[in-house]
Structure 1
């Protein structure tokens, strides 16, 4: 029945190395035997967990430099040998159901569990005291791809033991191995969190005075924070406060990992107050205000701050601490990644808040944004797109902001990208132009003077329906202004293009929605009426009117005045 008890004859006391190997062998056999115990299952599971922890520490001990004659070490190994032998006897009796009483067996198992826990602590204390030191690089074997959960769990427990009882080198190696497996296979994250103490040990390592241990722990914690279901475990273990201490005092790489972790944790607004309460906002603002800002650190720090602006009180604190001016300065950075992040932060903090939007404008935000858009400067299309969206979101609700924009030459920049930009930035520039001409009559006049209307006419023939629609709506809005109409009709090609596009619709309603209203506006000029009546496109307009297209009917009525009726090629009956 079950496994045979391994040979446990007592060796010579002086043979410490032999004793150590025997303890490891017995523990390995004992762990296997505990899986066969059907009684006191919970207690045996606790004992097995402690045995696995002790076993990992002993296997690591075999890779350390120490004197087996050291009385502390030999005494500990001898005591462990007695305990594991006793434990094996109790396991066998539980498997065979040969124990005398349940209460007595339960009491004995409690004693054994306490002894094993004491051995683990003593071994850990020896590493801490330097009695055991790592003799060479430790290579920890990890399960292969597709390993079963139990093998993965055993490997994680092994790493946990090394983190608990190992010297600095062993702790660093264990952290590195742990990081590698959780990055390679997310299943390890769940397995790791099923193992007691892993998260608490990682959190405690964030307080470590040893840079590499602190960095290694921050990297692992950041990976765990990427899983929504595990964020609550980290927060419950008290991870936020030490992460903020790392931001304040840690190494550059440690700060980067801590900031990335906090960015993930603060995607849940419930954690915002915890970050603020531990001084996180101040620490993050200090990072972003540094003279030598590096995108690898400022990026995630900015990401955390963006997550926090949704809390009104925290947002006000940021403004009071000078965040607006700080991020406007970053928007002028030579690093495009920093520019984009700072611009997106400014949009987030100003969203739905007119006072903050006014502060951004007053502190020079418009000038910084226009500079990014300026074709004279070397910026990527992506960066310019971010700046254009920010201008659209921040500036068009204020007449003052629109005037400042135009004074900085923004219309010339917009025109440049409508004419010369690649598809994505051209469409965005067109959208911004459409929004801009809806802000005021003065903006429409300025756009007319800047030459927007001929460009919009060209875009009425674009392949993209969205582009045609935005160009048509923008032009419809602009020709409502008398000065723009006069300028538009001076070029016969503009009217000819509109009539040609209307004719090319061939029964489809796509462009008519804005082409007919544009022509209606333009017929306030007698010369336009004459051109339409004399053109070969009048019959098409009449045909549309006869098919009950309302705008076509209105246009024909407007053309059917006493002065022009005799020129009509058909008779219109209303």
Structure 2
């Protein structure tokens, strides 16, 4: 927006009698405009400070008839200031010294106006009525400084809290917007709570317009980041009001997401969590997970994770009973239209909630969770692929059935591929998972048939490969393979078998494991074969 467009509504309609609201609007526009001026920055900073003081002095007293005596002079200075701002923005001033002088004059005039207003307040000639703060909340969002003005001018916050209970919907809405804005600043949250903002915010949640409810929910979300305020929200019926919103049929994400956010902040209090469970919160949020709106899906999944965290077997039972597992897995269906972010959230919540509970792991596998994980390990975006690998790795450690299911899905071949990637964390995870997988006889038989994978494992034991961090897991895999004759035979006859002997002769931590492996391979009839092969390689 150009300079003239920005100021036109304020300047063109100002009658000479000087409508106080228009003077305030002009000063507000000037403050915003001054932030973009690139010349005489020091002078404009001083002028801006005075404009802000003037603004805070006028902002709540605009209906006071006592102002009529000072407004014409303030208007005149503001218009003079506008003219200087325009010339500094357009760089159309005639000379630097002259402009500096003009700016100093305007600063001195503004200082006099501020002083005059201050005297009027001290004598009690002026008192704040604060009507304007509510009618122009967008001023607050223009700059953090305005929030400071609102909070620090007299009793503005108490007046805003009173306005939340207004019977006029518009005033209620606008007040909710302003308190929601103030609540974003950690240093002012205590001021709002101290002014008794929680009870009227809950009332707004119960019976205002959707706009008012959104602002109230956002405000409560900010305030309940401090768990001390949780009881206050609960005591005023806030939990019931929020659950009602989340249980609604056609609520939009703009309202549901902050409402979920407040409830998530409150579940940390054990008694409030119990109340939510008793009130059917889990069922409501499983319904919300079925929403077509992705923001609502993510918020509801994150809420369920919060309410079920810790040893919450009751909540997990309700999630399973109400079909929550099926809903979560539907979101992982590659054919389901869903972003990577949502899929990551779903995988994490499944891992966090259900892996510690063996009957749930069985349910997950019966619904095809292993196949979904394998799909993302092979076809996912990098972030989803890596997470799917981590989740499969965790699943692998839950029970033998999980290891068998992953083996049947071909997971071991994928793990072998990951042994050679750049990321040390991924290599280590793959090696550890593989060493767990081959402890299961069925998987071991399958792995022994894969000559290439055995050769790669032995190749990676080469000290020059720089894989020493994984050697203990790789040796553990090979140790498992020696349980069957064909496994021993393949290890010994591989062109890379000498790497085991080289490791065994070194002083590394893994050399002890390598020595054990050499002993295992050297038993009975294999001793001759082994020494023949190794002798041949060394000659």
Distance 1:163 1:293, change over 3 A: farther
Structure 1 window deviating more from structure 2 (492-501 vs 465-474): it is 492-501
Cα deviation for residue 396 of structure 1 reads: 0.5
Contact preservation (8 Å) 1:284, 1:301: yes
Q: How many Å separate the matches in 2 of 1:402 and 1:239?
A: 46
Contact preservation (8 Å) 2:135, 2:171: no
Q: How many Å separate the matches in 1 of 2:150 and 2:305?
A: 39
Contact preservation (8 Å) 2:444, 2:481: yes
Cα deviation for residue 528 of structure 1 reads: 1.5
Whether 1:458 and 2:417 are equivalent positions in the alignment is yes
2:520 to 531, 555, 558: 558
Whether 1:494 and 2:453 are equivalent positions in the alignment is yes
CA RMSD of aligned residues (A): 2.4
Contact preservation (8 Å) 2:377, 2:388: yes
Report the equivalent of 1:313: 271
Report the equivalent of 1:159: 59
Report the equivalent of 2:27: 141
Cα deviation for residue 149 of structure 1 reads: 4.2
Distance 1:474 1:176, change over 3 A: farther
Q: How many Å separate the matches in 1 of 2:473 and 2:369?
A: 26
Contact preservation (8 Å) 1:516, 1:555: yes
1:398 to 350, 357, 374: 357
Q: How many Å separate the matches in 2 of 1:484 and 1:228?
A: 55
Distance 1:464 1:189, change over 3 A: same
Report the equivalent of 2:109: none
Q: How many Å separate the matches in 1 of 2:465 and 2:322?
A: 53
2:226 to 237, 257, 268: 268
> Unpaired runs of 5+ in structure 1?
1-58, 65-133
Q: How many Å separate the matches in 2 of 1:544 and 1:222?
A: 64
Whether 1:324 and 2:282 are equivalent positions in the alignment is yes
Whether 1:427 and 2:389 are equivalent positions in the alignment is no
Report the equivalent of 2:142: 184
How many pairs are equivalent?
Answer: 439
SS in 2 for 1:566: helix
Report the equivalent of 2:428: 469
Whether 1:414 and 2:300 are equivalent positions in the alignment is no
Whether 1:519 and 2:419 are equivalent positions in the alignment is no
> Unpaired runs of 5+ in structure 2?
1-14, 36-44, 68-128
Distance 1:162 1:239, change over 3 A: farther
Contact preservation (8 Å) 1:505, 1:511: no
Q: How many Å separate the matches in 2 of 1:517 and 1:194?
A: 67
TM-score by length of 2: 0.77
Cα deviation for residue 392 of structure 1 reads: 0.1
Cα deviation for residue 187 of structure 1 reads: 2.6
TM-score by length of 1: 0.73
Cα deviation for residue 314 of structure 1 reads: 0.7
Contact preservation (8 Å) 1:456, 1:472: yes
Distance 1:384 1:507, change over 3 A: closer
Cα deviation for residue 209 of structure 1 reads: 2.1
Structure 1 window deviating more from structure 2 (206-215 vs 407-416): it is 206-215
Q: How many Å separate the matches in 2 of 1:181 and 1:504?
A: 66
Contact preservation (8 Å) 1:244, 1:279: yes
For residues 455-509 of structure 1, the C-alpha deviation after alignment (integer angstroms, 9 at most, x for no partner) is 1111111222221111111111110001110011122222122122223753551
Report the equivalent of 2:19: 63
Cα deviation for residue 404 of structure 1 reads: 0.7
1:439 to 377, 398, 404: 398
1:241 to 195, 199, 211: 199
Cα deviation for residue 284 of structure 1 reads: 0.4
Contact preservation (8 Å) 2:130, 2:159: no
Q: How many Å separate the matches in 2 of 1:214 and 1:521?
A: 71
Report the equivalent of 1:213: 171
SS in 2 for 1:302: helix
SS in 1 for 2:60: helix
Q: How many Å separate the matches in 1 of 2:138 and 2:426?
A: 48
Cα deviation for residue 241 of structure 1 reads: 0.8
Structure 1 window deviating more from structure 2 (189-198 vs 284-293): it is 189-198
Report the equivalent of 1:4: none
Cα deviation for residue 442 of structure 1 reads: 1.2
1:532-547 to 2 correspondence within 5 Å? 532-547=491-506
Q: How many Å separate the matches in 1 of 2:459 and 2:465?
A: 11
Contact preservation (8 Å) 2:130, 2:156: no
Q: How many Å separate the matches in 2 of 1:440 and 1:163?
A: 74
Q: How many Å separate the matches in 2 of 1:265 and 1:510?
A: 47
2:462 to 476, 483, 503: 503
| Structure label with greater radius of gyration | 1
Whether 1:368 and 2:327 are equivalent positions in the alignment is yes
Contact preservation (8 Å) 2:376, 2:388: yes
Cα deviation for residue 200 of structure 1 reads: 1.1
Contact preservation (8 Å) 1:153, 1:192: no
Report the equivalent of 2:304: 346
Q: How many Å separate the matches in 2 of 1:138 and 1:507?
A: 70
Q: How many Å separate the matches in 2 of 1:141 and 1:296?
A: 33
Cα deviation for residue 191 of structure 1 reads: 3.2
Report the equivalent of 1:386: 345
Q: How many Å separate the matches in 1 of 2:149 and 2:23?
A: 26
Report the equivalent of 2:94: none
